[in-house]
Chains A and B, each alone.
Chain A
Amino acid sequence: MTTVTAPTTPAGPATAPAVAGPAATPAARRREVPGVALGVLGVLAFLAVWEVVPRAGLVRATYLPPASEVLRTLAREAGRAGFWTAMGDTVVAWALGLAIAFGAAVVLGFVVGAVPVLRDFTASTVEFLRPIPSVALIPLAALLFATDIRSTLLLVVYAAFWQVYVQVLYGVVDVDPVAEDTARSYGLSRWSRVRHVTWPTALPYVLTGLRLGAAVALILAVTAELVIGSPGLGQEIAVAESSGATSVVYALVIATGALGVAVNVVVRLAERRLLRWHPSVRGEVAA
């Protein structure tokens, strides 16, 4: 359902004031400040519980070290060059895989989406290949590329490609026929129509695909590192786990979580920036 409802959110004129609204009215702003404070309180409470549970002996500290110890380990890890190399490896595999998948999916999606015959003949294959979990490719990747970065890339590209491709297809099909006919009547060339009619229509969908693909790409990047042993944070976690360095495992899990948050934030910012024009254009059309 995200695939259908999510793209309409940035486009829907009704949501535009809702996004701008709360910050604009003073009453809402007064409510917003305690919201942040409550959030901080929530995080602190979570850390406090995490600190108390192992210290009180409810869970053995060898299984769950107290929060303070894990955070100290995280700080120590952050001072280690190997940690940042691993972080860099994960980020490179993620970014490269996502870029390849995104580029291929956008190009193919626009071509296939624009030609109904191609769409009809590829639909069954897409519907079959899309739900295949890309972890099924782990043994193949391990055989072909061993612990090379290409193992990670194979999984990341396969998983992220479908997320973007399907969204691009939705977007290309969603073109307003009146806009398309108008562009045709004014004698716009095929390329201009793609540039000025199809692309703006599809952009919210493309960016939704990018957002979903970015999250999936990170999951698969870490999976490949964890299971196959290609370099990155996942491999560091596997090594720490097998050597019994529990607090290092937790510290690295927090680090991957932070990476996940960073990925979400960056993609969301990009989405908001690139679609800034969108509701306003819709507003002008409606007026």
Chain B
Amino acid sequence: MTRVALRAGQVLGLPVVLVLVWWYASVTSQNYYLPTPGVIASTFGHVWTADRLTTDALPSVVRLLTGFALAGVLGVALGVPIGSSPRLRALTEPVLEFFRAIPPPVLVPVLILFAGIDGTMKVAVIVSGCVWPILLNTVEGVRAVDPVLADTCRSYGIRGTTRLRTLVLRSASPQIMAGLRQALSIAIILMVISEMFAASSGLGFTIVQFQRSFAIPEMWTGIVLLGLLGFALAMLFGVVERRVLSWYHGLRRTARGSD
């Protein structure tokens, strides 16, 4: 029982203290920009009604997930051949490294030129920003396939899709997941700023509208909503990653235990 209480204290203690500190600070300071958590919480219900969530937040999230999924497919599909062929890798590596080094947000103005400011542009922005970490990590992962396993596969005559599925993608999956994790945080950044930079709807657009019209509590609810979205996506990704990489974590634990 005391153990449960201690655990609850550990999990909730600091957040509660922080909220109280915020509350105290916002009540005493009378700072216009700093509403109390209570005001933000009550405004949240008014602002993010089911109606607004479906018209503004949902399309944003759908674009985010579409772009992320497309980037994942594209990155892995291109990464496998590039990773398997040293020649192709040497040919493409400098160009790819340069593309990865470009901070993805600068692609927003470039893609506006091509695709205007509609939904296609935003998905294109997300794909073109997210694909590089996935692609380059896939290349690294495919390149680092254990040669003993590769030889074993060859001896057993395993090739084609079976080889791809059981050897190449499996060995590269920890790296691919690392790339996907980086890409996910880039995707959120790009979703928000493509809407802030040029849009007529969406989560980023709405929040900037609140800020420009000095609707301060409403703006804060937007910040909270984006925070919750980031948190939820990270949690979801964690669950998927644990499932996909359970074999790998098990392997590492065993390797560590035998040290």
- B97 x A261 contact (CB < 8 A): yes
Interface string of A33-77 (1 = CB under 8 A from B): 011101111110110000000000001001110000000000000
Task: Tell me if B196 and A138 are in contact (CB < 8 A).
Answer: yes
In the bound complex, do residue B192 and residue A1 qualify as a contact, i.e. CB atoms below 8 Å apart? Answer: no
Chain A positions 206 through 227: 1 when the CB is less than 8 Å from some CB of chain B, otherwise 0: 0000000000001111110011
Interface 9-mer from B52-60, B73-81, B151-159, B203-211: B203-211
Number of interface residues of A (CB under 8 A): 65
Give the contact stretch, choosing among A118-126, A183-191, A272-280: A118-126
Whether B101 pairs with A261 at a CB distance below 8 angstroms is: yes
Interface pair A249/B193, CB less than 8 Å apart: no
**Chain A hits for B92, CB < 8 A:** 42
Smallest CB gap from A262: residue in B: B101
A234: chain B residues at CB < 8 Å are 105-106
Bound Cα distance from A264 to B91, whole angstroms? 20
Asked whether A226 lies within 8 Å of B178 as measured between CB atoms, the reply is no
Q: Knowing A123-B10, A133-B188, A136-B223 touch, does A237 contact B91 (C-beta < 8 A)?
A: no
The total of chain B residues at the interface (CB under 8 A) is: 67
Q: Which of A40, A121, A122 has the most CB of B within 10 A?
A: A121
* Chain A, 226-274, CB within 8 A of any chain B CB: 226-227, 233-234, 237-238, 240-241, 246, 249-250, 252-253, 256-258, 260-261, 263-264
B102 near A260 with CB under 8 A, answer: yes
User: Does any Cβ of B come within 8 Å of A140's Cβ?
Assistant: yes
> Quick check: B108 and A131 within 8 Å, CB to CB?
no
Assembled-state Cα–Cα distance A63/B10 (Å): 55
Report how many A-B pairs have Cβ atoms within 8 Å: 180
Q: Does B23 contact A (CB under 8 A)?
A: no
User: When the two chains form the complex, which single residue of A6, A123, A219 contacts B189, counting CB atoms closer than 8 Å?
Assistant: A219
Of B87, B98, B104, B109, which contacts A219 at CB under 8 A?
Answer: B104
Q: Is A144 an interface residue when CB atoms closer than 8 A count as contact?
A: yes
Q: Check A260 against B101 for contact (C-beta < 8 Å).
A: yes
A139 interface residue per 8 A CB criterion: yes
Known: A125-B14, A136-B227, A237-B106. Is A257-B241 also a contact (CB below 8 A)? Answer: no
Whether, in the assembled complex, B150 has its beta carbon less than 8 Å from a beta carbon of chain A, the answer is: no
- In the complex, the chain A residue whose C-beta lies closest to that of B18 is A125
> CA of A53 to CA of B94 in the docked complex: distance in angstroms?
21
Residues of chain A within 8 A of B99, CB atoms compared: 257
Cα A137 to Cα B188 with chains together (Å): 13
Which one of B101, B109, B174 contacts A238 once the chains associate, using CB atoms below 8 Å?
B109
The contact of A128 among B15, B108, B177, by CB within 8 Å, is B15
| Residue ID in chain B nearest A226 by CB atoms | B105
A25 sits at the interface (CB 8 A): no
Q: Is the CB of A124 within 8 A of B12?
A: yes
- Whether B42 is near chain A, meaning CB under 8 Å from some CB there, is no
Cβ contacts under 8 Å, A63 to chain B? 113-114
Q: Mark A103-135, 1 if CB is under 8 A from B, else 0.
A: 000000000000000001111110010111101
Rounded to whole Å, the gap between the CB of A151 and the closest CB of chain B is 12
Are the C-beta atoms of A133 and B94 separated by less than 8 Å? no
Residue B61 CB within 8 A of the other chain: no
Partner of B13, one of A1, A36, A38, A121: A121
Minimum CB–CB distance for A35 against chain B, Å: 4
Q: Is B110 an interface residue (CB 8 A)?
A: yes
Q: When chains A and B are docked, how far (Å) is the Cα of A223 from the Cα of B192?
A: 11
A contact face: mostly helix, strand, loop, or mixed: helix
B182 touches A2 (CB 8 A): yes
For B186, what are the chain A residues with a Cβ–Cβ distance below 8 Å?
A: 219
Q: Is the CB of B223 within 8 A of A5?
A: no
- Is there an interface contact between B223 and A140, defined as CB atoms closer than 8 Å? yes
Would you give the shortest CB distance from B64 to chain A, in whole angstroms?
11
User: With the chains together, A153 CA to B104 CA distance in Å?
Assistant: 18
Taking CB atoms and an 8 Å cut-off, the chain A residues in 136-152 that contact chain B are 136-140, 142-144
Residue contact B97 to A227, C-beta cutoff 8 Å: no
Cβ-based interface call for B5 (8 A):
no
- Asked if B24 lies at the interface with its beta carbon under 8 angstroms from chain A, I say no
List B residues 202-234 near A (Cβ within 8 Å). 204, 207-208, 210-211, 216, 219, 222-223, 226-227, 229-231, 233-234
Which B residues touch A227, using CB under 8 A?
105, 193, 196-197
Q: Which residues of chain A come closer than 8 Å to B222, judged between CB atoms?
A: 136, 139
| Most A C-beta atoms less than 10 A away, residue of B94, B99, B216 | B94
Closest residue of A by beta carbon distance from B178: A1
When distances are taken between beta carbons in the complex, the residues of chain B under 8 Å from A226 are: 105-106, 108-109, 193, 197
Given contacts A122-B14, A142-B211, A249-B110, contact A1 B33 (CB under 8 A): no
User: Which residues from chain B contact A135 at a C-beta distance below 8 Å?
Assistant: 188-189, 192-193, 196, 204, 226
Give the contacts of A154-195 with B (CB-CB under 8 A). none
Question: With A38-B90, A39-B90 as given contacts, are A121 and B230 in contact (CB-CB < 8 Å)?
Answer: no
A-B pairs with the 10 shortest C-beta distances? A260-B101, A131-B234, A139-B211, A136-B226, A241-B109, A1-B178, A257-B102, A38-B90, A132-B227, A35-B90
